[in-house]
């Protein structure tokens, strides 16, 4: 997501370091690269034109001319203007009303049905809500079955009445939710390959008959320039309260995120970050801009870590580190937790300064973690608690048990000792790790 755009913008900013002073000519030269980078990322051409004009106006101001480090000031200007595009204020989802009614709308293939499961999961985990998913896509074959499968895997109830009037389904679902003490009702609606009158009439009828607290448009981030037309088309007929951008983890150039809010004034509320049912994040423009400009996202990393480890576990691990009692049982537990964070390359990119240190070019084979995990699992509980007893004969047995050689066992034990020393140093400085 935004990787190519970030690289292009980084090169443009680096170019400024070669200039002794900033003039209209060399600023125009740098902005030409910025303009091309944004257009290639599928940012709307009107947005690109206004954006570069504003950056140029500020970059030629007295603040930049007098600065000893014009590249840093230029980077700040870029950051501020990108924030303006994405919206400086976070618009949270409605969670206070009880019951709260939310409807998802969107074109076919945007990932609407999967997204409703992700959203229900997030509302339960983050806000402690008791959600009900309502199946109103009565036209697409197997749509109801797909929802029921998602609901079962999450242990979240799904309300369905088969192929009948969607308005009746929603009204009955509201009564059911009240009777069952459920406080958040998420309505999955039908989609079409394109916006048409029949689709819109159905969505309008649902909203008119059962007043929704939130109407969110699910939009495929890979749709490109046409995204603005889709948002505008839905927004003219429905009171959209926000957008959910899906497939932001895929091979997308991301320009829709930079154009949508600015041109339509409809806020982005969530982004889909993976295909898994926990792969949905609340949209935060500050963090998004930091990622685009290679500044990392430490808060996002901490939140990811907190989602897989509770405070009590973190405190327990921290105490063990401080006392030097950190063992291979803890090492194994961390392997499992790190795997839950997602691809390690993506995690590394969230560390501030990772790009400058060259860490973002590191490619980590997920099989390597599985191999290390297999070695630890081949040890006895006693060996995991006290690795010092693992001598030659034990190493041979462990290697055979996991189908690897003794060198691999030695390598893991060395990594463990290095990790143990590093963690003891960090904990003695009262620096808590995020995982």
Confidence of residue 173 (pLDDT cuts 50, 70, 90): very high
Domain end point (choices 229, 262, 288): 288
The answer to whether residue 434 sits within a structural domain is no
**Domain match, 128 and 183 both:** yes
Confidence of residue 341 (pLDDT cuts 50, 70, 90): low
Domain with 33 in it: 3-86
**Domain match, 137 and 228 both:** yes
DSSP H helices, 225-297, are: 227-237, 255-264, 285-292
Q: Taking Cα atoms as reference points, which of 320, 304, 227 lies closest to residue 266?
A: 227
The answer to whether residue 77 sits within a structural domain is yes
Say if residue 264's pLDDT is above 80. Answer: yes
**Domain match, 65 and 191 both:** no
**pLDDT of the residue at 265:** 86
Domain end point (choices 288, 318, 353): 288
Number of domains into which the chain is organized: 3
Average pLDDT over residues 289-294: 78
Domain end point (choices 39, 64, 86): 86
**Domain match, 145 and 236 both:** yes
**Domain match, 248 and 118 both:** yes
What are 110-158's pLDDT values in tens digits? 889 999 999 999 999 999 999 999 999 988 778 899 999 999 999 999 9
Q: Using CB atoms within 10 A of its CB, is residue 239 exposed (0-12), middle (13-18) or buried (19+)?
A: exposed
The answer to whether residue 207 sits within a structural domain is yes
What are 351-398's pLDDT values in tens digits? 545 455 444 555 556 677 778 888 999 999 899 888 889 999 999 999
**Domain match, 210 and 105 both:** yes
- The whole-angstrom separation of Cα 135 and Cα 112 is 12
- The whole-angstrom separation of Cα 149 and Cα 156 is 10
CATH of residue 82's domain is 1.20.120.140
**Domain match, 182 and 273 both:** yes
The answer to whether residue 295 sits within a structural domain is no
**Domain match, 150 and 178 both:** yes
**Domain match, 158 and 129 both:** yes
Mean pLDDT of all residues belonging to the chain: 81
- The whole-angstrom separation of Cα 203 and Cα 237 is 9
Name the pTM for this structure: 0.69
- The whole-angstrom separation of Cα 212 and Cα 224 is 29
CATH of residue 279's domain is 3.40.50.300
**pLDDT of the residue at 430:** 45
**Domain match, 164 and 40 both:** no
- The whole-angstrom separation of Cα 334 and Cα 315 is 14
**Domain match, 82 and 118 both:** no
Q: What is the CA radius of gyration of the chain?
A: 26
The answer to whether residue 293 sits within a structural domain is no
The answer to whether residue 204 sits within a structural domain is yes
The answer to whether residue 123 sits within a structural domain is yes
CATH of residue 359's domain is 1.10.260.30
Say if residue 416's pLDDT is above 90. Answer: no
């Amino acid at each position: 997501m935004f990787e190519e755009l970030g690289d292009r913008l980084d090169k443009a900013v680096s170019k400024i370091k070669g200039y002794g002073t900033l003039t209209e000519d060399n600023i125009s030269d740098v902005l030409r690269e910025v303009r091309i980078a944004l257009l290639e990322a599928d940012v709307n051409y009107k947005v690109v034109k206004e954006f570069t004009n504003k950056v140029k106006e500020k970059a030629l101001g007295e603040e930049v001319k007098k600065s000893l480090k014009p590249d840093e000031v230029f980077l700040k200007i870029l950051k501020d203007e990108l924030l303006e595009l994405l919206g400086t204020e976070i618009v949270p989802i409605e969670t206070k009303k009880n019951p709260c009614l939310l409807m998802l709308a969107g074109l076919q293939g945007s990932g609407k049905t999967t997204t409703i499961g992700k959203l229900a999961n997030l509302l339960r985990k983050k806000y402690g809500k008791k959600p009900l998913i309502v199946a109103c896509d009565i036209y697409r074959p197997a749509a109801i079955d797909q929802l029921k499968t998602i609901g079962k895997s999450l242990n979240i109830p799904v309300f369905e009445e088969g192929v009948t009037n969607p308005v009746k389904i929603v009204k009955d679902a509201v009564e059911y939710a009240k009777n069952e003490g459920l406080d958040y009702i998420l309505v999955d609606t039908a989609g079409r390959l394109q916006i048409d009158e029949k689709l819109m009439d159905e969505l309008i009828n649902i909203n008119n008959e059962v007043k929704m607290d939130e109407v969110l448009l699910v939009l495929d981030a890979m749709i490109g320039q046409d995204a603005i037309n889709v948002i505008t088309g839905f927004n003219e007929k429905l009171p959209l309260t926000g957008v959910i951008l899906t497939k932001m983890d895929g091979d997308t150039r991301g320009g829709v995120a930079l154009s949508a809010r600015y041109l339509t004034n409809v806020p982005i509320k969530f982004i889909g970050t993976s295909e898994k049912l926990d792969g949905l994040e609340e949209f935060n423009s500050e963090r998004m801009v930091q990622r685009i400009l290679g500044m990392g996202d430490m808060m996002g990393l901490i939140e990811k870590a907190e989602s897989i480890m509770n405070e009590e576990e973190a405190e327990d691990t921290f105490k063990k580190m401080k006392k030097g009692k950190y063992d291979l049982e803890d090492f194994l537990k961390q392997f499992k937790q790190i795997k839950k964070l997602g691809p390690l390359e993506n995690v590394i990119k969230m560390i501030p300064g990772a790009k400058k240190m060259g860490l973002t070019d590191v490619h980590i084979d997920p099989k390597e973690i599985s191999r290390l995990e297999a070695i630890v699992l081949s040890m006895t509980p006693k060996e995991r608690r006290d690795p010092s007893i693992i001598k030659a004969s034990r190493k041979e047995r462990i290697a055979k048990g996991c189908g690897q050689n003794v060198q691999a066992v030695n390598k893991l034990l060395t990594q463990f000792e290095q990790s143990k020393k590093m963690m003891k140093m960090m904990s003695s400085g009262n620096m808590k790790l995020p995982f």
